[in-house]
Amino acid sequence: MQKNITVIEGDGIGPEVTRQSVKILNAIAAQFNHTFNYTYHLMGAVAIDKTGNPLPDETIESCLNSDAVLFGAIGHPKYDNDPTAKVRPEQGLLKLRKSLQLFANIRPVNTYPALQHLAPLKAEKLEGVDFIIFRELTGGIYFGKKELSEDGTKASDDCVYTTPEIERIAHLAFQYAQKPERRKKLTLVDKANVLETSRLWRKVVQEISKQYPDVAVDYMFVDNASMQIMLNPKQFDIVLTENMFGDIISDEASVLSGSLGLLPSASVGTGTVLFEPIHGSYPQAAGKDIANPLGSILSAAMMLEHFGLSTEAALVREAVKWTLENGFVSKDIEPVNFYFTSTIGDLISDYVKSTDHERIN
């Protein structure tokens, strides 16, 4: 199989974690006779520094012409601490999501027995936690009209959703819920007791649910949902929600797996699919080789799955599990006896390359 991948390393720890994924994709390619061609492009603060634009046209162009995009992270503290900056790194990612019409961000949340001690919940609450957040990604308050009054004392962000925007992600989430490996339950997270947009979500989802009679649906207000994620995370199977609620509850949910650095995601739409860890650019760790590469590596596994390469994806996941079980973990997980980002990448790449897996078992 031959695939063209646009790689956007981005800011902060983006380059170092993404390089581990490329290393592992190369190991997979060598092992299974595939060809992955990479084209590197800029986005985020690095793109602003080099071109003045957080998302240069050639980056969009390359993504549109690729089979998939592998993205690292975005953001820089110099912008976070300057609320008046007009050009901001995050605008790059938001524009890319819009340009590629990546309307659904799929964020699986799993727990690993080897990491249960890191989560603030008791082990019995964590065993068997396995849910997927479907976060709407191209609408809502992120993309509504933004205004700041002349005198700078009044600001607003509109939250807008249309029925078709809700329908397309709802269908995707319901279809996912029907998969043999899922538990056929969908929870819509909204704030329908207050927000008009949430009431539209509820109405549309109620209507669509009739087409999926085998999927049980429940509805939960976002404030309650964020409590339920901590109280009883096992109850969730497919969680469907709008853009900002999805952003917030997915960071919260990452706590269950032991580290934000572990969670991967796929952003799908009408064409090219983008894969990225859910974590941010973690500038304090940038260039130190201490970031957790697993969120990116598991995103690469989702990419393999997307290419139809299930065996390859399963091997990467197995290798990830093996590093966790054997203590080959990064600093976020083991602050003293940690392994470097690049070493973890090497170990996983070696695991993939050792066909019989004898050497490491």
Binding site for ligand IPM (CB under 6 A): 74-75, 90, 93, 247, 278
Q: How far is the CB of 329 from Mn ion (least distance, A)?
A: 23
DSSP 37-89: EEEE---SHHHHHHHS-SS-HHHHHHHHTSSEEEEEE---HHHHT-TT-SS-H
Q: Is 317 marked within a binding site?
A: no
Residue 105 makes CB contacts below 8 A (sequence gap 6+) with 133, 134, 135, 136, 137, 246, 265, 266, 267
Do residues 217 and 188 lie in contact, with contact meaning Cβ atoms separated by under 8 Å?
yes
Q: Does 289 show up as a binding residue in the annotation? A: no
Set 79, 112, 142, 351: catalytic member: 142
Written as six digits, the tokens of 266 are: 């796929």
Smallest distance from the beta carbon of 92 to ligand IPM, in angstroms?
9
214 catalytic residue (yes or no): no
Question: Minimum CB separation from Mn ion for residue 38, in Å?
Answer: 25
Closer to ligand IPM by Cβ: residue 137 or 348: 137
CA gap 216, 174 in Å, rounded: 10
220's contact among Mn ion, ligand IPM, none, with CB below 5 to 8 A by partner kind, is none
359 is in an annotated binding site: no
Is 97 annotated to bind a ligand? Reply is yes
> Is 356 one of the annotated binding-site residues?
no
Active-site annotation holds for 223: yes
Active site residue 142: yes
Of 40, 50, 59, nearest in space to 87 by CA: 50
Is 247 a binding residue for Mn ion by CB under 5 A? The answer is yes
The catalytically annotated residue of 57, 82, 223, 350 is: 223
- Looking at beta carbons only, is 267 or 341 nearer to ligand IPM? 267
Name the binder of 11 from Mn ion, ligand IPM, none, CB < 5-8 A by kind. Answer: none
The burial class, CB within 10 Å (0-12 / 13-18 / 19+), for 127 is: exposed
- The DSSP bridge pattern shows strands 155-157 and 146-148 to be antiparallel
Instruction: Give me the residues that bind Mn ion (CB under 5 A), please.
Output: 247
Residues making up the annotated binding site for substrate are: 97, 107, 135, 223
Positions marked catalytic: 142, 191, 223, 247, 251
